[in-house]
Structure formats: C-alpha cells, structure tokens
Amino acid sequence: MNQILIAEDNPRISSFLETGLQAHGFTTAIVATGSEAINVADSKIFDLLILDIGLPDLDGFDVLRNLRGRGETLPIIVLTARDTVDDTVAGLEGGADDYITKPFRFEELLARVRVQMRNRHIPRQQEDTTLRVGDICLDLLTRQVWVGDNLVELSTREFILAEVFLRHPMQVLSREQLLNRIWGYDYDPGSNIVDVYVGHLRKKFGSNRIETVRGIGYRLRR
C-alpha cells in the first residue's frame, strides 16, 4: 500500500487530507513542523510527501532545500496559500514535483498524487486499480465504470463519489464526510450538492443500489 507523509500545521487541512487519502487506499502519517518533515522523510518508508510551505520553525522552502540537497528523490507536492508566479517558480525550482494552491478541491490533489505515483513507477496491487461491488466495476486507471455488461459514463465528481462508495460498501457515509472528501474542506456545509450527486449515481447504477440512512447519510449495498 502506498504511504504518504503529510507535513501540514493546520489540523483541519491535515485531517481533511488524511481522511480523503485513506478513503482512496493510501496509508498516511502527519507531521506539523518542517524539522519533523525532514526527520520522518529520512525513514525512507514513504512514497510521497505533501508539503505545506507555511510550516513553523522551517518553512516548506527550507525543507525542500534540505531534502534535495541531500539527494532525496521522494516526490514532493507543495501546498501553499501563496499564488504568485514567483512563489510557484521558487517551489518548482527548489525541487518540488508539483504545486497546488489553497483552497483546493480534493479531486485535484488526488489526481496529482496519482500522477506522481505513476511517475515513480510504484507497482499497484490489483485492488488499488479495480474496485468491484456486486455488478458494479470501477477501473481507476482507465476511469471506466461498468454496471453488469453496460459501460456507464460518469463526470469527474461522480467518479470520485462512486470510488468512495465502492471502497466502503455497506458502510454508512455521512453527508459531511462525502462533502469533505470530494468537494473540499472549504465547501459550504449547508449545500445539498451531495444529495444531488447521489441522485445522479442512482440513475446510473440503479435506484436501489445507494440506500439513504435517515438523518445520517448514504450506504452502498452489495
């Protein structure tokens, strides 16, 4: 299983990242300072580092310089609230493999993580690339979804929502969990967007496949 180190001092964002990544099959660890990020990265057990620029003690640029200066080849995705061209260039020239600006959608981060994993040529287990529950089959590499013998077209967010359900069959997932994992930590918690997209999946998977658990959320039946 691919292991990701998260270096982020904002507990809300680190929890959001950890929850979303674990829901998609990754193992995670969290550190909150630059010095911790350097020390833990030295363990060589991680496949990717998600690095916030605004860390206490050593900022993300210092961490980048330290790791790359010692020959560390671990893929690094930088998170930052700074969106100037100079900061982007500084991050990439400092050794970052990718750069994403806060606030961000989880689906964008997930896509960037998967690109870095592919570039690193980390072998994936079959269950990490193909998910199957009953007659629903989802292929993470080709982005294709089959219901029985029928190929079903899903939008990007429908696909991510379907993936979360298929990774947690028969588990009740709250609207808040789904909102955070798919639309982001900064999305309006009063939005009905989750209900709308569950409705889309019901039309494509069959109306009885996703069950409403009153007052809590939804559950995918086997």
Where do the structural domains in the chain lie, given as residue ranges? 3-119, 126-220
pLDDT tops 70 at residue 14: yes
Give the pLDDT confidence score for residue 126 in this predicted structure: 40
Same fold, 3-119 and 126-220: no
Q: CA-to-CA distance for 200 and 150, rounded, in angstroms?
A: 16
Nearest to 74 by CA among 113, 46, 32: 46
Mean pLDDT of 26-31: 94
80 pLDDT more than 60: yes
At 121 the pLDDT is: 57
Task: Tell me the C-alpha distance between 185 and 105, whole Å.
Answer: 8
Angstrom distance (rounded) from CA 197 to CA 205: 12
215-218 contact pairs (CB < 8 A, 24+): 216/172, 216/174, 217/172, 217/173, 217/174, 217/175, 217/176, 217/177, 217/178, 218/165, 218/172, 218/173, 218/175, 218/178
pLDDT at 171 over 70: yes
Report whether pLDDT(7) > 80.
yes
Q: Kindly report, residue by residue over 178-191, the tens digit of the pLDDT.
A: 887 777 766 666 77
pTM of the complete model beyond 0.75 = no
Is 177 a residue whose pLDDT tops 70? Answer: yes
Whether the link from the prior residue into 11 is cis, omega within 30° of 0, is no
- Given a cut of 60, is residue 64 above it in pLDDT? yes
More confident residue, 24 or 127: 24
User: 161 to each of 72, 75, 77, 79, 151, how far by Cα in Å?
Assistant: 35, 26, 23, 23, 17
Whole-number pLDDT of residue 134: 93
Structure tokens of 188? Answer: 């309006």
* pLDDT single digits (tens) 105-151: 888 898 899 888 887 754 444 445 789 999 999 988 788 999 999 99
Specify the range with the lowest mean pLDDT, choosing from 19-23, 33-37, 91-95, 120-124.
120-124
Looking at the domain that runs over 3-119, which CATH code has it been given? Answer: 3.40.50.2300
In the 3-class helix/strand/coil scheme, how is 103-156 assigned residue by residue? Answer: CCCHHHHHHHHHHHHHHCCCCCCHHHHEEEECCEEEECCCCEEEECCEEECCCH
Predicted confidence at residue 191, as pLDDT, reads 79
Pairing of strands 27-31, 3-7: parallel
Beta strands in the chain, from DSSP E residues, in sequence order: 3-7, 27-31, 48-52, 76-80, 98-101, 130-133, 136-139, 144-147, 150-152, 173-174, 210-213, 217-220
- Flag whether pLDDT at 167 surpasses 60: yes
The DSSP bridge pattern shows strands 48-52 and 76-80 to be parallel
Q: Which CATH number fits domain 126-220: 3.40.640.10, 3.90.1150.10, 3.40.1550.10, 1.10.10.10?
A: 1.10.10.10
